[in-house]
Amino acid sequence: MASTIKSLKAKKFLPMLSDRQNRFENGASKLPNFSDQASVIAKALHPKRQYLTVESVKDMAEDCKSYSLVPDPERGTQELAYFGAGKYLTVFETIDGMPVTRAYSISSSPKDSLNGKYVLTIKLVDGGLMSRYIFDTWKEGSKVEVSAPSGNFEYQPLRDASTVVCLAGGSGITPFISMANAVADGDEDFNMILLYGSRNSKNILFKDELDELCKKCDKIKVVLVLSEEKRAAKGTEKGFITAELIQKYAPENEPYSVFICGPQQMYAFLDAELKRLNLEKKFIRHEMFGEFHNPASQADYPEGIPETVKIKVTIQDQTYTVEGSSSDSVMQILEKNKIAVPARCRSGECGFCHSRLISGKVYVPKDLEYRRLADYKFGCIHPCCSFPLTDLEINVPVAK
């Protein structure tokens, strides 16, 4: 007999319909209760907010303090979200009615978070709004609100070399302290060569902890690089972190990764130095740039831009018109006008502030350009790194 579809019975079809409804009829009348660890993990690692209490404050150096933060169960945070070493927390504060956020790398280890502790090590920035506020107001018992751990500045064994030369400048040491502890705890597995640049021996953060880590774990090596010391003490280097210095300490005949975290001017300097080493791009990773200031200093910034601009912003069903300086980012202008904006990294990278530009023009520094291709086509911007060139009309999601 020829093979044909006719050998299948068409009359099987109608009973399917009643069968389906009958099966439903026999189901239990309650909400199903099944274990869903995938959702549990997602919620544990990415809470919307974490409500914390300052447990203690420690002076680290002149103008630098470490804040130990623990969960505040009364406001709903029972446990801290675990994280990969290198991640940051965004701190939410309201200063004089102005909603302000800043991202700070977590300096404590991932393991500490399981024991209910994060540490943020914060340097007082000249003219820095948030760091000044934290220095003045965060005391033992202060209530603090932070994001879930975020960011991509982490070691990835499938991508990075087995040795990482970490270049830290000043308070840029914070993610590396977390990484070094993670290596010592066995939570990360790589050889860490930390070149840590400070001005002088008084400015070195975590000196004792670094000594301790080197003693405890043979995968960690630390070289202090001091720019203002006249003579280098034994085991330290004087001057700046340069290509030669990296070469001196990096493994000779095997690939190595370079991770960089420090002040903005250090990135520009080190990028030029690293170029001389001809490393593959995949082996160079920067921590986020940080908030960008003074766009007019950029070579490609257009001329004749008005000093002040108006922004008409719609958030859900509310519309406001505000004024601000064209040297501030759209995000800063809104915040200075007491309008909360969704904010996380403030460096263009995370895209959390993704918004729609309805009319007007903005300038985006090219190092902070992380928009998606379709964003250009449909006029979407990241307000944290967009500087108004004209009056603007924008639509911004509600702060979260």
Partner 1 sequence: MKTYDVIVIGAGNGGLAAAATCARAGLSTLLLERHNIPGGSASSFVRGRFEFEPSLHELAGIGTPEDPGSIEQFFNRIEAEADWHKDNSTFRLIVPAKEGDTDTFVNENGVEVTIDARMPVGFENFSRKLDEIVPGSYESAMKAFDLSTRMFKAFDAIGDMSDPKKIFSILGEVPDFMRMTSHTLNEGLDALGMPKKAQDIFSTYWCYMGSPGSRFDFLYYMAVLHSYVKSGTGIPDKRSHEMSLAIDKVIRDNGGDIWYNSEVTRIIMQDGKPAGVVINGEKKVFGKRFICNSYPYVAFRDLFNIEDVPEKQLKMLNTRENAVALTTVYLGMNKTKEELGIKDYSVFIAPCSDSDEQFSLVNDYFSGYCIINCLNEIIPDCTPEGTCQLFLTSMTHGDVMRDIRPQDYKKFKTKVAKDMIETCEKALNISITPYIEEIEIALPPTFCRYLNTPLGTPYGYFLDKWDSMIPRTIQYMKDQPFDNFLFCGATQERGDGYGCAYHTGEKAGNLTVKAFKEGK
Of 264-293, binders to partner 1 (CB under 8 A) are: 280-282
- Pick the stretch among 21-29, 235-243, 301-309, 325-333 that binds partner 1 (CB under 8 A): 21-29
Least Å from the CB of residue 274 to partner 1:
15
Residue 8 sits in the site that holds partner 1 (CB under 8 A): yes
CB neighbours (10 Å) of residue 170? 20
- The residue within the footprint of partner 1, chosen from 10, 231, 297, 299 (CB under 8 A), is 10
Residue 299 sits in the site that holds partner 1 (CB under 8 A): no
- The residue within the footprint of partner 1, chosen from 56, 142, 152, 242 (CB under 8 A), is 152
Least Å from the CB of residue 195 to partner 1:
23
Give one word for 278, left, alpha or beta, with left for phi > 0 and alpha for psi -120 to 50.
Answer: left
Residue 233 sits in the site that holds partner 1 (CB under 8 A): no
Token output for 87: 């991640």
Q: How far apart (Å, rounded) are the C-alpha atoms in residues 307 and 327?
A: 7
- The residue within the footprint of partner 1, chosen from 13, 127, 297, 366 (CB under 8 A), is 13
Token output for 115: 């024991």
Residue 367 sits in the site that holds partner 1 (CB under 8 A): no
Cα distance between the two ends of the chain: 68
**What would the DSSP string read from start to end of 262-278?**
S-HHHHHHHHHHHHTTT
20 versus 199: smaller Cβ distance to partner 1 = 20
Residue 6 sits in the site that holds partner 1 (CB under 8 A): yes
**Residue 250, helix vs strand vs coil:** coil
Q: Which of residues 315-354 bind partner 1 (CB under 8 A)?
A: 316-317, 342, 351-354
- The residue within the footprint of partner 1, chosen from 76, 157, 251, 306 (CB under 8 A), is 157
- Pick the stretch among 55-63, 117-125, 228-236, 365-373 that binds partner 1 (CB under 8 A): 365-373
Residue 78 sits in the site that holds partner 1 (CB under 8 A): no
CB neighbours (10 Å) of residue 25? 8
Q: Which of residues 45-64 bind partner 1 (CB under 8 A)?
A: 45-46
Chain-centroid distance, C-alpha 247? 29
Nearest to 311 by CA among 356, 354, 344, 348: 356
Residue 300 sits in the site that holds partner 1 (CB under 8 A): no
Q: What is the CA radius of gyration of the chain?
A: 26
Q: How far apart (Å, rounded) are the C-alpha atoms in residues 388 and 256?
A: 41
- Pick the stretch among 23-31, 136-144, 229-237, 257-265 that binds partner 1 (CB under 8 A): 23-31
Least Å from the CB of residue 84 to partner 1:
5
DSSP type of residue 106:
B
Residue 366 sits in the site that holds partner 1 (CB under 8 A): no
Least Å from the CB of residue 230 to partner 1:
40
Residue count, binding to partner 1 (CB under 8 A): 73
Residue 370 sits in the site that holds partner 1 (CB under 8 A): yes
299 versus 374: smaller Cβ distance to partner 1 = 374
147 versus 198: smaller Cβ distance to partner 1 = 147
**Beta carbons of 257 and 285 less than 8 angstroms apart:** yes
Q: How far apart (Å, rounded) are the C-alpha atoms in residues 277 and 165?
A: 13
Q: Which residues contact 385 (CB under 8 A, 6 or more apart)?
A: 292, 329, 346, 347, 348, 364, 365, 368, 369
Least Å from the CB of residue 62 to partner 1:
36
Q: Which residues contact 379 (CB under 8 A, 6 or more apart)?
A: 356, 357, 358
- The residue within the footprint of partner 1, chosen from 81, 311, 313, 357 (CB under 8 A), is 81
Place of tokens 């998606």: 372
- Pattern of binders to partner 1 over 26-45, x per CB under 8 A? xxxxxxx-xxxxxxxxxxxx
In 10-87, DSSP assigns E strands to 50-61, 64-71
**DSSP β-bridge partners for residue 103:** 90
25 versus 126: smaller Cβ distance to partner 1 = 25
Q: Which of residues 86-115 bind partner 1 (CB under 8 A)?
A: 110, 114
Q: Which of residues 175-204 bind partner 1 (CB under 8 A)?
A: none
